[in-house]
Amino acid sequence: MNLNTITEVKRPRTAEEIGRWEDGHAWLAGGTWLFSEPQVAVDTLIDLPSLGWPPLTATPAGLEIAATCRIVELHEFSGPADWRAVPLFRQCIDAFLMSFKIWNAATVGGNLCMSLPAGAMIALTAALDGICTLWPRDGKARDVPVADFVTGNHANVLRKGELLRSIRLPASALSKRFALRQGSLTHLGRSAALVIGTVGDRSEDFLLTVTAATPKPVQLSFSKLPSATELRDALDQRLPLEGYFDDVHGVPQYKRHLTRYFAEQVRAELA
């Protein structure tokens, strides 16, 4: 839709060019959400693609995903053979309810900054121990784990004018085995539960990440693969019924049922 309150679009080459942050400014990434509803409080858009950040940078230490990396670019990524978790990228992308436009324009950073429960890029990067690098308007860059970046439904730790620069996935997480389960109330509907497990070669460092069913990512970590009972007990202790997200995509009881069921399937697949 047209945003008829916009009076200026800035296209900076560096983030420093923006200087002072004013009320009414908004970072513009793919624009798939920004242009999907009226933004009456916004008068200036600051285009992020014009910063020209390389979308994906792979090194022996891991993968740096620029916030401006588009979903379609992440989908095309194929890493070194020992990064066994790379196919998880596509599975998470497929879990993302998308039109052709979103597929080609939406960015990984935009998805994190929207901080919706069904943010599939949040699920992916949290499950792979992602670390966000944030650039405040004044002051030093800071790092925040993806699992702590989102604080609730459409809420996160970003301060006024702060920019999400990138997400780093360590090689240690990219080398793990993984399993994913996802369910929706309707065929191709928005995720009601998205559960990902990752584990090391000798069944060590099992990490279960629950998203979509909860307002923010919930993670359970175990030094070795738990039994079915241990996992179920830990899940119920960490996530009482009130911890599940209640919306049109499913009531808490339904989301709890899916989460318990998927968690056990994930555990069994990785056993």
Ligand X SMILES: Cc1cc2nc3c(=O)[nH]c(=O)nc-3n(C[C@H](O)[C@H](O)[C@H](O)COP(=O)(O)OP(=O)(O)OC[C@H]3O[C@@H](n4cnc5c(N)ncnc54)[C@H](O)[C@@H]3O)c2cc1C
Least spacing, CB of residue 121 vs ligand X, in Å:
7
Residues that bind ligand X (CB under 6 A): 26-34, 36, 48, 67, 96-97, 99, 102, 105-107, 109-111, 113-114, 116, 118-119, 158, 163-164, 190
Least spacing, CB of residue 208 vs ligand X, in Å:
20
Sole residue written with tokens 């989301």:
255
Residue 81 tokens read as 């053979």
Which is nearer to ligand X, 29 or 225 (by Cβ)?
Answer: 29
Query: Residue 128: which residues within 8 A CB-CB, separation 6 or more?
Result: 85, 88, 169, 170, 173, 174, 198
Give bridge partners of residue 27 from the DSSP assignment. 46
Which is nearer to ligand X, 44 or 219 (by Cβ)?
Answer: 44
CA atoms within 13 A on the CB side of 92: 31
CB atoms within 10 A of CB 251: 16
Which is nearer to ligand X, 40 or 81 (by Cβ)?
Answer: 40
SS3 content of the chain, % helix, strand, coil (to 5): 30, 30, 40
Least spacing, CB of residue 185 vs ligand X, in Å:
13
Contact call for residues 13 and 52 (beta carbons, < 8 A): yes
Q: Measured at CB, which residue is nearest to ligand X?
A: 110
The one-letter amino acid at 83: W
Least spacing, CB of residue 156 vs ligand X, in Å:
9
Which is nearer to ligand X, 28 or 128 (by Cβ)?
Answer: 28
Which is nearer to ligand X, 100 or 202 (by Cβ)?
Answer: 100
Contact call for residues 183 and 95 (beta carbons, < 8 A): no
Least spacing, CB of residue 213 vs ligand X, in Å:
14
